[in-house]
Amino acid sequence: MGQSPSTTAISDEFSRNHFPDFDFDFDFDFGSHARNSIDHDFTADLPDDCLAGIFTHLNTADRNRCSLVCRRWLRVDGQTRRRLSLCAKAEILDIVPAVFSRFESVTKLALRCDRRSASVNDEGLMLISLRCVNLTRLKLRGCREITEAGMAAVGENCKALKKLSCASCVFGIKGINAVVSRCRGLEELSVKRLRGANDGAEVVSSETTSLTSVCLKEIVNGQSFAPLLIRSKKLRSLKVIGCLGEWDDTLEKIGNLHAALVDVHLEKIQVSDVGLVGLSKCLGLDTLHIVKTAECSNVGLNLIAENCRMLRKLHVDGRRTNRIGDDGLISVANHCHNLQELALIGIYPTSSSLEAIASKCRSLERLALCGLNTVGDAEIECVANKCVALKKLCIKGCPISNVGIEALASGCPNLIKFKVRRCRKVTGMVVDWVREHRESLAFSFDNSDYEVLNASQSDHDQALNDMIAFHRGNGAAAAAAAASNGYSGFATLRATFGFLANRSIVQSALRRWYNNDNVPAQ
């Protein structure tokens, strides 16, 4: 008692009696072992290929940090970097040799310059094209110092180019022609806000037949691309947005020659039912966007529906012209049974057309109804009862009430995301009701009366974004969508101060002010 047991002595005696041949007198030098582990570079045992494989799973910022670790990592990163984005100011000319000596395997290159700076010129683009002979993708943004001479150098030196995208450049049709005529393997072409394309005398070369995707946006003389579109027999995707000129004849010829066309986006252009009749000959049409085309009517949509029965995605923005309505939508319901995505904006459908779509398009998964004054609770209840496969729904600016919202929450068993915006008859009370009765439903409600300047464009952009994935970053998304349409300043203010509208801070302040002024004197 009062003495501690000598466990150490007993254990030592037991060990020596049972293991007489084993030497227990040794020491571990943990300090030296730790120092050796720290001093040893385990990545040195990895082959360069394995290290490069690890780098491929990192984003650009992390790769840039890794390249600063040691000379070997710098070399491996440079040799295996395939994608590169550069600020294409005039000063880049001095560092082009050094940059592309390090990044010698670049196949995807983006050159961007802001409006207030002088961009890289033809000499710089020529040097880059000589260094990047294996280039497959080239993106030019705001490079206003590049002319057709620089583009000709790209076409001459980068024969493997498959995708060309240019925006806010000034080299005109001649610059596009210089690349298209030389790069016979070009598959994707995107041209936006091209300056110098307004003389109408030059026509893009029509010798290539490898193009599969063409996007033209806000081009004054967009018809200069018509021969290229007509001759590209492998064309599968066509987007024409805000391009001047009459497009009926071009679309009619495309329909006669391009049976492989599957994706068409027509927005803010002069096209009528004649153009839609031409597109109706593309029997494999999968996606169709008809946005703010005032001359398109039920006649053209009827022919599209009757002939293009594989249609899966349809977006119609009628701009409140009342030319597309029940007749066209009923025809879609009768013939396009594979329809999975439908967006209706600024038109006047009634319960008859919506009931036909809900009853016959059993695969409908995504639906957007924006600015439809004829869609109320009765029409919404029909959707709730019959759209069994519906997964995502967006309703904006429609005269529905809490009754319609409750019907949707009770029906549509597969509905997972539901968004309601600017529906004045819907109150905040329904939010708690929906969450109580449908816990698994991601329900988003915004009853703000805040309006944007370009309401129709905002409706279309928001419907497209909300229907595909109800992003929570509404402020940033609205700013980006508005910036692309020339409302960047207004969109920035909206993104910054949008919480004022959502939380009714102004109304609360006015209410407090009124109450304080009416307090009786003591």
Alpha-carbon radius of gyration of the chain: 32
Specify whether the CB–CB gap between 74 and 67 falls below 8 A: yes
Mean pLDDT in residue range 223-241: 92
> What is the rounded distance in angstroms from the CA atom of residue 277 to the CA atom of residue 194?
29
pLDDT tens, position by position, 45-92: 788 788 888 888 888 888 888 888 888 888 888 888 888 999 999 999
Mean pLDDT in residue range 131-147: 93
| Predicted local confidence at residue 356, as pLDDT | 95
231/2: higher pLDDT: 231
pTM value is 0.76
| Predicted local confidence at residue 204, as pLDDT | 72
Average pLDDT along the chain:
81
In the predicted model, is pLDDT for residue 315 greater than 50?
Answer: yes
| Cα dihedral: 27, 31, 33, 38 (round 10) | 180
DSSP string for 480-502: HHHHTTT-HHHHHHHHHHHHHHH
Mean pLDDT in residue range 272-286: 94
- Phi/psi-derived region of residue 145, left when phi > 0, alpha when psi is between -120 and 50, beta in every other case: alpha
pLDDT classification of 369: cutoffs 50, 70, 90: very high
Mean pLDDT in residue range 210-214: 93
> What is the rounded distance in angstroms from the CA atom of residue 318 to the CA atom of residue 291?
7
pLDDT tens, position by position, 437-458: 898 999 999 876 533 333 445 5
Mean pLDDT in residue range 405-424: 92
> What is the rounded distance in angstroms from the CA atom of residue 206 to the CA atom of residue 181?
8
